[in-house]
């Protein structure tokens, strides 16, 4: 093949595809048997998509006449997909404390803080991230947050999935009914206008379904309205009390529900049947959610961070490590949960989450001969991640890696 390509990553000791048959998610047994090529190479085209992945000798023969903008010799190293980092609430402190500061902040200030955090996440191996609003609780500030997320999407290489979370808390001075009415009659209609005009792209809708916050009825109304606007349902559920959020999400066709520390057996069964992903958050959850029960039931388990001041973690390798230690997940399960299943929870597993032809050329190159070290070494990712690549472009070149 004599074409010009953006990137060749060659001779890697391991190339971790995750899956190789176009799977949109993995459950139970599949998560224990990841697809790994020993001594492999990856070709990424000028459009940023993967053109070939396979044994190094075959890639060398097939592309002997090709030219590449950049070649990475990954001899003795590992290649794997970039992680998907879910649940970034950009500001924090207790919700109402943060609401006051977010309402007062200039957009430029919010963009600067968001950008610095996203760059830190990118250096820790994240290539797709979910960013949420939710610290405005009224129209103008929610729009301001979503506009900041949109600007970050335009200016940074990291892939962003945007989530409207106007129902993150009930504003001071309002009842649940009043807050719900404002979202349904004021916030969502304006959001729809902005989306229709092409000035704002929002992918998901979130509600904090909890006692003293939004009850099942209010949650249903808001999520259904968002779904009718074309938003994916991806919401907080069964966190502090068993609210039957899992059953509601399954009924509404939710893509994902996060937290689930208090989910019931019936809720687990409903999510497994509906193929609604469980986004578990090891950095924030006490007690820990029942990951093993969910996996055994066939639930699509994903991992997230719940990034906020109470869980200020920019590192998906640390999230995966904690999932193994505290939730008794295996390392292959944790990696699948942080890649293909996390991408599924954002409706992106057809383009992200595994190293397969025609998916985005987003990957990590690790300075180690076995991929498990990324999870095994708690906090060791800063010395392990040699390159972070997004759409075939090297966005992080780390010369401070340490040979194992």
As a three-state string, the secondary structure of 137-180 is: CCHHHHHHHHHHHHHHHHHCCCEEEEEEEEECCCCCCCCHHHHH
Q: What is the pLDDT of residue 268?
A: 98
Size of the chain in residues: 404
Q: For residue 1, what pLDDT band results from cuts at 50, 70 and 90? A: low
Average pLDDT of the segment spanning 147-163: 97
CA distance 233 to 222: 10
pLDDT over 90 percentage in the chain? 88
Q: What is the pLDDT of residue 92?
A: 43
CA distance 59 to 41: 7
Residue 348 predicted with pLDDT over 70:
yes
Average pLDDT of the segment spanning 182-206: 97
Backbone phi, then psi, for 211, in 5-degree steps? -60, 135
Residues of the chain with CATH 2.30.40.10: 4-79
Q: What is the pLDDT of residue 90?
A: 47
Q: For residue 235, what pLDDT band results from cuts at 50, 70 and 90? A: very high
Q: What is the pLDDT of residue 39?
A: 98
The 3-class secondary structure across 91-150, one letter per residue, is: CCCCHHHHHHHHHHCCHHHHHHHHHHHHHHHHHCCEEEEEEECCCCCCHHHHHHHHHHHH
Average pLDDT of the segment spanning 278-292: 92
Query: Beta-strand (E) ranges in 261-381?
Result: 277-280, 301-303, 363-366
In CATH, 4-79 is 2.40.30.10: no
- Residue 290 neighbours by CB under 8 Å, 6+ apart: 260, 263, 268
Q: What does the CA dihedral 268, 324, 403, 42 come to, rounded to 10 degrees? A: -20
Closest CA to 300 of 324, 271, 277: 277
Supply the DSSP symbol for 75.
B
Q: For residue 314, what pLDDT band results from cuts at 50, 70 and 90? A: very high
Q: For residue 135, what pLDDT band results from cuts at 50, 70 and 90? A: confident
Q: What is the pLDDT of residue 100?
A: 79
Closest CA to 380 of 125, 41, 144: 125
pLDDT digits (tens, 9 = 90+) for 87-119: 765 444 467 778 777 888 899 999 999 999 999
Q: What does the CA dihedral 206, 210, 214, 218 come to, rounded to 10 degrees? A: 80
CA distance 25 to 20: 11
Contact 375, 334 (CB under 8 A): yes
Q: What is the mean pLDDT of the chain?
A: 94
Q: What is the pLDDT of residue 7?
A: 98
Specify whether the backbone of 125 is left (phi greater than 0), alpha (psi in -120 to 50) or beta.
Answer: left
CA distance 185 to 159: 31
Closest CA to 186 of 225, 151, 212: 225
Q: What is the pLDDT of residue 244?
A: 98
User: Per the structure block, which two tokens stand in for 26?
Assistant: 């993995």
Q: What is the pLDDT of residue 91?
A: 44
Q: What is the pLDDT of residue 2?
A: 64
- Number of C-beta neighbours around residue 6 at 10 A: 20
Tell me whether strands 363-366 and 301-303 are parallel, antiparallel or unpaired.
unpaired
pLDDT over 70 percentage in the chain? 97
- Residue 160 neighbours by CB under 8 Å, 6+ apart: 118, 128, 129, 130, 131, 149, 152, 153
CA dist 225 → 252, 316, 320 (Å): 11, 32, 34
Residues of the chain with CATH 3.20.20.140: 95-346
Q: What is the pLDDT of residue 400?
A: 75
Closest CA to 168 of 186, 180, 152: 180
Residue 12 predicted with pLDDT over 70:
yes
Tell me whether strands 363-366 and 78-81 are parallel, antiparallel or unpaired.
antiparallel
- Number of C-beta neighbours around residue 163 at 10 A: 26
pLDDT digits (tens, 9 = 90+) for 32-87: 999 999 999 999 999 999 999 999 999 999 999 999 999 999 999 999 999 998 87
pLDDT digits (tens, 9 = 90+) for 350-370: 999 999 999 999 999 999 999
Tell me whether strands 159-167 and 126-132 are parallel, antiparallel or unpaired.
parallel
Contact 149, 199 (CB under 8 A): no
CATH number of the domain at 95-346, please?
A: 3.20.20.140
Q: What does the CA dihedral 266, 269, 270, 271 come to, rounded to 10 degrees? A: 120
Backbone phi, then psi, for 310, in 5-degree steps? -90, -10
């Amino acid at each position: 093949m004599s074409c010009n390509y953006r990137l060749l990553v060659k001779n890697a000791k391991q190339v971790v595809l995750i899956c190789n048959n176009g799977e949109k998610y993995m459950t139970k047994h599949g998560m224990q048997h990841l697809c790994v090529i020993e001594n492999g190479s990856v070709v990424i085209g000028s459009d940023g998509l993967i053109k070939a992945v396979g044994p190094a000798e075959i890639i060398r023969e097939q592309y002997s006449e090709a030219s590449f903008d950049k070649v990475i010799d990954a001899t003795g190293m590992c290649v794997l997909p970039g992680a998907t980092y879910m649940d970034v609430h950009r500001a924090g402190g207790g919700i109402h404390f943060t609401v006051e500061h977010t309402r007062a902040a200039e957009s430029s200030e919010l963009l600067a803080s968001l950008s610095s955090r996203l760059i830190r996440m990118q250096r820790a191996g994240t290539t797709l991230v979910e960013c949420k609003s939710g610290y405005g609780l009224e129209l103008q500030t929610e729009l301001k947050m979503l506009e900041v997320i949109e600007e970050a999407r335009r200016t940074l290489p990291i892939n962003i999935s945007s989530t409207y979370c106007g129902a993150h808390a009930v504003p001071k001075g309002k009842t649940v009914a009043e807050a719900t009415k404002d979202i349904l009659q004021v916030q969502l209609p304006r959001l729809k206008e902005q989306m229709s005009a092409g000035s704002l792209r929002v992918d998901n809708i979130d509600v904090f379904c909890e006692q003293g916050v939004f009850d099942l009825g209010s949650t249903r109304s808001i999520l259904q309205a968002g779904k009718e606007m074309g938003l994916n349902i991806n919401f907080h559920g069964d966190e502090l009390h068993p609210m039957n959020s899992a059953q509601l999400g399954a009924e509404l066709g939710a893509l994902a529900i996060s937290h689930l520390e208090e989910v019931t057996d019936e809720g687990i069964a409903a999510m497994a049947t509906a193929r609604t992903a469980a986004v578990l958050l090891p950095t924030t959850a006490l007690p820990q959610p029942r990951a093993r029960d969910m996996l055994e039931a066939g639930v699509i388990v994903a991992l997230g961070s719940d990034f906020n001041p109470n869980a200020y973690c920019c590192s998906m390798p640390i999230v995966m490590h904690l999932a193994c230690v505290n939730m008794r997940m295996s390392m292959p399960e944790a990696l699948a949960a942080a890649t293909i299943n996390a991408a599924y929870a954002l409706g992106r597993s057809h383009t992200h989450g595994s190293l397969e032809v025609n998916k985005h050329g987003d990957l990590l190159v690790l300075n180690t001969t076995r991929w498990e070290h990324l999870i095994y070494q708690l906090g060791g990712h800063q010395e392990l991640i040699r390159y972070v690549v997004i759409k075939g472009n090297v966005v992080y070149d780390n010369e401070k890696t340490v040979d194992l």
